[in-house]
Amino acid sequence: MQIEFKDNYIKIGLKISYYRKLKSLTQEQLAGILDCGVSFIGQIEAPNIYKAISLDTLFKIAKALEIPPYKLLYFED
């Protein structure tokens, strides 16, 4: 991951956390839907860990959260 995009990955993770909580899902439940580890979800959502994710993963997360993918990628500065 390029250092210049770290802030964007942090914002994506925070948005995933926000929409997950809005749906009243735990990290464990989201991990189960996505068939991935809870630690993976935790790393994505943690603001102090810079975890890059693929577009495929982003699309799967958006589908699981029942939101359009752009909601995870739109940043108001």
Residue 54 lies in a domain: yes
Q: What are phi and psi of 57, to 5 degrees?
A: -65, -45
- Predicted local distance difference test score (pLDDT) of residue 51: 87
What are the tens digits of pLDDT across the range 1-55? 567 888 999 999 999 999 999 999 999 999 999 999 999 999 999 999 888 899 9
Contact 69, 42 (CB under 8 A): no
Q: Which has more pLDDT, 50 or 70?
A: 70
Cα–Cα dist 18/47, whole Å? 12
- Predicted local distance difference test score (pLDDT) of residue 2: 64
Residue 29 lies in a domain: yes
Any idea what the CATH number is for the domain that residue 42 is in? 1.10.260.40
Residue 73 lies in a domain: no
User: 77 falls in which pLDDT band (50, 70, 90)?
Assistant: low
